Amino acid sequence: MINIYILTPFPDVIDAITKNSILGRAVKKEIVLFKILNLFDFADPPHHKIDDYPFGGGKGMILKPEPIFRAIESIKKNSLNEDFRIVFPTPDGKLFNQEEAIELSSNENIIFICGHYKGIDDRIRQQLITDEISIGDYIVTGGELPAMIILDSVVRLIPGVLNTYESAATDSFMSDLLDHPHYTRPEEYRNLKVPQILLSGNHGKIDEWKIQKREEKTKNIRQDLWEKYLKKES
């Protein structure tokens, strides 16, 4: 079983997501176990303050080191495995992609730290974090949504989570190509028809069509991926 820990000041946000859809299915299949830790539980009483003003001045509040250190020490103390990946979603981290998702999915113990406010005390980054990951060049209010995006991308790659591995294996980015167009019933809707090749039953021709459409879409939309794909093919 894969153990995934999420450190957050807002556990209800995480709880709602991990109980539904693919993540909820992974839990029901006993493939993944989510453990949500409330950072306020690891802060000093009586006020349980988890943030403070930055040294050197400046706007915004900074997450204090004590609650996060204590939470991670608590996790490790109660685990038989000492090998943890500790992920911090942050806009100044390494840009997340499918290769990163595949690599993370092979780990048995992953901790996500959900940041808030202006940032976190840098001693946390120096001493604890193994992976600083960005989901893009933009800012969101807290680390919960980026953590869930990364988490969803990782969990769906774990064997047994999806009904068929082929479903994940043919996703966009798995082979440096974007996905091909998809169609379902009815065959015609508002004068728009499903391509005849998909109704032919000729699976060899259908596979050729899918590759062709993936190449066309990638070339037109993501020139960076197209060039990467051509280098691998040459």
Q: How many CB atoms are closer than 10 A to CB 24? A: 14
**50 domain-assigned:** yes
Tell me the H-state helices in the chain. Answer: 11-18, 21-28, 65-77, 98-104, 122-127, 144-155, 165-169, 203-221, 223-233
| Claim to verify: residue 100 and residue 147 sit in the same structural domain | yes
| Claim to verify: residue 191 and residue 131 sit in the same structural domain | no
Percent of the chain with pLDDT over 90: 88
**160 domain-assigned:** no
Q: How many domains does the chain have?
A: 2
Asked whether the bond before 159 is cis by omega within 30 degrees of 0, the reply is no
Task: Yes or no: say if 87 and 111 are a contact pair by the CB < 8 Å rule.
Answer: yes
Structure tokens of 214?
Answer: 């993936």
pLDDT in tens, 14-56: 999 999 999 999 999 999 999 999 999 999 999 999 999 999 9
pLDDT in tens, 133-145: 999 999 999 999 9
The helix/strand/coil state of 71 is helix
Q: Of 123, 155, 187, which marks where a domain is finished?
A: 155
**97 domain-assigned:** yes
| Claim to verify: residue 48 and residue 97 sit in the same structural domain | yes
pLDDT in tens, 52-99: 999 999 899 999 999 999 999 999 999 988 899 999 999 999 999 999
| Claim to verify: residue 120 and residue 148 sit in the same structural domain | yes
CA distance 205 to 215: 15
Nearest to residue 172, comparing CAs of 153, 146, 193?
Answer: 153
The helix/strand/coil state of 23 is helix
Cα separations (Å) of 232 from 96, 106, 174, 218?
21, 24, 13, 14
Contacts for 72 with CB less than 8 Å, ≥ 6 apart: 7, 84, 86, 111, 128
| Claim to verify: residue 66 and residue 122 sit in the same structural domain | yes
Q: How many CB atoms are closer than 10 A to CB 196? A: 8
pLDDT in tens, 150-181: 999 999 999 999 987 556 666 667 678 999 99
Structure tokens of 168?
Answer: 């994940």
| Claim to verify: residue 137 and residue 183 sit in the same structural domain | no
pLDDT in tens, 109-130: 999 999 998 899 999 999 999 9
pLDDT in tens, 205-227: 999 999 999 999 999 999 999 99
| Claim to verify: residue 149 and residue 184 sit in the same structural domain | no
CATH of the domain at 219: 1.10.1270.20
The alpha-carbon radius of gyration of the chain (Å, integer) is 22
Q: Show the domain range for 39.
A: 2-155
| Claim to verify: residue 130 and residue 185 sit in the same structural domain | no
| Claim to verify: residue 122 and residue 181 sit in the same structural domain | no
**15 domain-assigned:** yes
The helix/strand/coil state of 212 is helix
| Claim to verify: residue 49 and residue 127 sit in the same structural domain | yes
**225 domain-assigned:** yes
**222 domain-assigned:** yes
Asked whether the bond before 46 is cis by omega within 30 degrees of 0, the reply is yes
Q: Of 155, 188, 211, which marks where a domain is finished?
A: 155
Q: Of 121, 155, 189, which marks where a domain is finished?
A: 155
Cα separations (Å) of 78 from 71, 75, 107?
11, 5, 18
| Claim to verify: residue 151 and residue 212 sit in the same structural domain | no
CATH of the domain at 97: 3.40.1280.10
- pLDDT for residue 65: 97
**164 domain-assigned:** no
| Claim to verify: residue 174 and residue 131 sit in the same structural domain | no
Structure tokens of 73?
Answer: 């020490």
Nearest to residue 6, comparing CAs of 103, 149, 183, 127?
Answer: 149
Cα separations (Å) of 53 from 90, 120, 205?
19, 11, 63
**161 domain-assigned:** no
